[in-house]
A = this chain, B = another copy of it.
Amino acid sequence: MSSSPSVGRPLRPRGKLLQEDARRHHRALLLQELFRGGPASRADLARSTGLTRVTVSDLVAELASEGLLEDLGAPAETRVGKPPTLVGLVADATHIVAVDLSPADRMSGAILNLAGEVKARHEVPLAGAKGQDAVDLLHRLAAELIELTDRPILGVGVGSPGVVDAFGTVIDAPNLGWSEQPLADGLKQALNLPVYVANDANTAVLGEHTFGEGDTDGGLMLLRVGIGVGAGLVLGGALLHGHQAAAGEIGHVVVDPDGERCACGRVGCLETLLAVPRLRQAMAEDGDALRRVGEQLGAVLAPVVGTLNLHEVVLAGPAELLDGTLREAADATIRARTMPVSGDHLVVRTSTLGDDVVLAGAAVLVLAGELGVS
């Protein structure tokens, strides 16, 4: 069972625990169980959650009346006793608006259902929009996305480049000309819907954690390789924010003090080696380049893997560059540079979600925040 990454702002100002909160918690428990384990009977749910059958029945009735759950009748195989009636999540009970702001040239959005399936897509060219123009463009995209479904909307999730705090304010995103931009609050006002905004790499790691293939409960780091390099981490089932909301900013960590000068002013940042344009260029010039970059990447990751005792490191980006020599070299280097206890169970792999990691993660922001599911 996967525990919910805690995303978004704390629910209550202090820490007071109302009965209402207990109710919400128990609702989330049931939804989570059905989300991960698929349809189950009320009795099953009572056993797996520890709640009594009475309470489960009550909650199921409530959730069913909201359309989130439906009775699915009795299961095929038959055992002793009264046959149970299975209940299951209605995947299309509500839809989620997800937006990925990380591409350099466009804002890309989609409608997803509760199972994380993409039901519709829509994107708008960025055309160099910055600052308020970019905000307006996002508002327009969100509104147009909402028009693409006739189902009620659970909420809006946005993965944005740059540093984003836990309240969905973009602290700093040079590419979009945003600084201290209260993106979540603005959208919430405009759309009258729950809105969650997080950094694109953080969003991506949530997507991978919830909808990816691996067993990502033991500590997961996702490295997004594109124009730049960013990472997101899920530790102990929770998204890591960091002191200044800047967790995962690994792109400008120095790998090679004798390397190339980086745009940021330092020398030998990870991005001078690992960014997609650099990789393509290097690969064209030298067949062995990917291996060397992989080794450098491994050298940066080894202290992180060892210190955090990570279970999975996932690379997200162009598979033809990442999934092969580079990944293998990184994997081998990490193992060579950490203790067996750190390296033995480590998995270094590429993401199975492709370009949709961020969209999937944006949906997870909403799922986790609104339903407590992930």
Contact = CB atoms under 8 A, between A and B. Distances in A.
Interface stretch (A17-25, A127-135, A180-188, A359-367): A17-25
Interface in A1-59: 12-19, 21-22, 25-26, 29, 48-51
A49 B231 contact: no
A243 B219 contact: yes
Contact of A309 (B25, B242, B342): B242
A29 B49 contact: no
A22 B22 contact: yes
Chain A's interface size range is 35 or more
A202 to B, nearest CB: 11
Contact of A244 (B18, B336, B341): B341
A253 B304 CA distance: 9
A296 B342 CA distance: 21
Majority SS at the chain A contact face: loop
Most B CB contacts (10 A, CB to CB) among A49, A163, A300 go to A300
Interface of A: 12-19, 21-22, 25-26, 29, 48-51, 163, 218-219, 221, 231, 233, 235-236, 238, 240-250, 252-254, 257, 264, 266, 300-304, 306-311, 336-339, 341-342, 345
24 contacts: A12-B50, A13-B50, A15-B29, A15-B49, A16-B50, A218-B242, A218-B244, A221-B307, A236-B238, A242-B309, A243-B345, A244-B341, A247-B307, A247-B309, A248-B309, A249-B307, A249-B309, A249-B341, A250-B307, A252-B339, A253-B337, A253-B338, A253-B339, A308-B308
